[in-house]
Amino acid sequence: MAAFHAVRLPATHLPGGISVNQSPSNRNPKTVIRFGYGSSKRNRLVSVLASQGDGNRNENSLSAVEVKKILEDSPLLPKPLSSNQLAETVSNGSRVRVAYQGVRGAYSESAAEKAYPNCEAVPCEEFDTAFEAVERWLVDRAVLPIENSLGGSIHRNYDLLLRHNLHIVGEVKLAVRHCLLANHGVKLEDLRRVLSHPQALAQCENTLTRLGLVREAVDDTAGAAKQIAFEDLSDAAAVASAKAAEIYGLNIVAEDIQDDTDNVTRFLMLAREPIIPGTNRLFKTSIVFSLEEGPGVLFKALAVFALRQINLTKIESRPLRKNPLRASGGLKYFDYLFYVDFEASMADEVAQNALRHLEEFATFLRVLGSYPVDTTML
Ligand SMILES: O=C(O)C(=O)Cc1ccccc1
């Protein structure tokens, strides 16, 4: 990734995040450049109107070409990595680089910073891109939201775990506090629709229904905030973090809009190599396996843990994507993968014996990782 340098603008311009709305807003046929303060003066915006269309240029106005140049050069909002850019990024070798899906202000970015304080969080357009960035040594880790206390498991991310050969080396739990963000001057009664990640929309079901807002799912919460700001929308809001409000210069119309105050999302940290599991602290092991069809087979599989007093913290069944349907005796059966998390380290003999036992009758078994439990109290 190219080294980022501060954009030097004429003295009349102020430091801070830059967001540029290139398409004339429906309220004002001009290009609006917003300077969101990076400082504590959150949400204070200085808008510089660049003349467009009427041809008049004042001392602050910028031509469309200059606006495009600012947009292309603005390093304060690093553009998410796309898969074809992967070949161009190189690690600067100093800080842990952690790839996440989304843009600056996404909860995944906050999870990366909680797991690896002072890391270099690298935004990626797709989850697959984040995984590939790790596999191709462009970053050191990837962070992946895997489940939420309200919305349950993020199923497609379980499938991702199997599609890539990365190892789970840690977990982090993040208290997610959703805000309703809109452009300054937009009131609650002006809103008709709301944009956000499907998980965020699901976690705020009651509030959004009470407000009568039409849901529009996008790739990530911060991306929704960025879209609201860049398109200068006056009828739409985003469900995103307070951090996203600051980055994109949006107003927080409502705070803590999730249906349950205890809204926690669990993220996994992924690496090219597994960590060496220890027994010096509470560990968790995540596995995935498949079984032959038959009465009591799943009971047998779970018994290998129960008989050894190993506590399971999660079991998730997913269709076996390769051959989900199996014909047998004129009937068709769904074949399943089972994802199980249990509270033991692979350094523990009891865990090793349990997996050796499971291996005797599982048709497929893979250890996704054995890693420390995040015991932070939220
Ligand atoms: O979209 C984001 O900000 C993410 O990081 C994914 C997500 C969405 C909702 C809750 C937690 C994580």
Question: What string of H, E and C letters represents the secondary structure of 145-157?
Answer: EEEECCCEECHHH
User: What average pLDDT does range 136-161 have in this prediction?
Assistant: 90
Ligand 1 centre to CA of 257 (Å) is 15
3-state SS, residue 40 = coil
| Amino acid at residue number 136 | R
246: confidence class by pLDDT, cuts 50, 70, 90: very high
Q: What is the mean pLDDT of the chain?
A: 81
* Reported ipTM: 0.94
- Quote the pLDDT of residue 72: 54
Around 35, how many Cα atoms within 13 Å sit in the side-chain half-sphere? 16
226: tokens are: 């960025």
221, 239, 260, 262, best to mutate for ligand 1 pocket (most atoms within 8 Å of CB): 221
| Amino acid at residue number 158 | Y
14: confidence class by pLDDT, cuts 50, 70, 90: very low
Atom in ligand 1 nearest the alpha carbon of residue 101: 5
Ligand 1 centre to CA of 273 (Å) is 25
Confidence check: pLDDT of 8 > 70: no
108, 146, 194, 264, best to mutate for ligand 1 pocket (most atoms within 8 Å of CB): 108
81: tokens are: 């990595």
Residue pair 184/228 in contact by the 8 Å Cβ criterion: no
Active-site amino acid positions: 265, 267
Confidence check: pLDDT of 338 > 80: yes
46: confidence class by pLDDT, cuts 50, 70, 90: very low
pLDDT tens digits for range 93-137: 578 999 999 999 999 999 999 999 999 999 999 999 999 999 999
b/e sequence 73-110, b meaning 16+ C-beta within 10 Å: ebebbbebbeeebbeebebeeeebbbbbbbbbbbbbbb
Helical (H) or strand (E) element with 254: strand 251-254
Handedness of CA 120, 81, 368, 343 (dihedral sign): positive
Ligand 1 centre to CA of 321 (Å) is 25
Q: Give the range among 77-91, 94-108, 158-172 with minimum mean pLDDT.
A: 77-91
Look at 95 and 372; give whichever has higher pLDDT.
372
Region for residue 34 given its phi and psi (left: phi exceeds 0; alpha: psi -120 to 50; beta: otherwise): beta
DSSP characters over 307-346? TTTPPEEEEEEEE-SSS-EEEETTEEEE-EEEEEEES--T
pLDDT tens digits for range 205-232: 999 999 999 999 999 999 999 999 999 9
User: What average pLDDT does range 160-183 have in this prediction?
Assistant: 95
**Ligand 1 pocket, Cβ-based, cut-off 6 angstroms:** 102, 106-108, 145, 148, 176, 197, 199-200, 220-222, 265
- Quote the pLDDT of residue 81: 73
pLDDT tens digits for range 344-367: 999 999 999 999 999 999 999 999
Query: Nearest CA to 135 among 102, 87, 101?
Result: 87
3-state SS, residue 106 = coil
- Quote the pLDDT of residue 293: 81
Atom in ligand 1 nearest the alpha carbon of residue 267: 12
Atom in ligand 1 nearest the alpha carbon of residue 223: 1
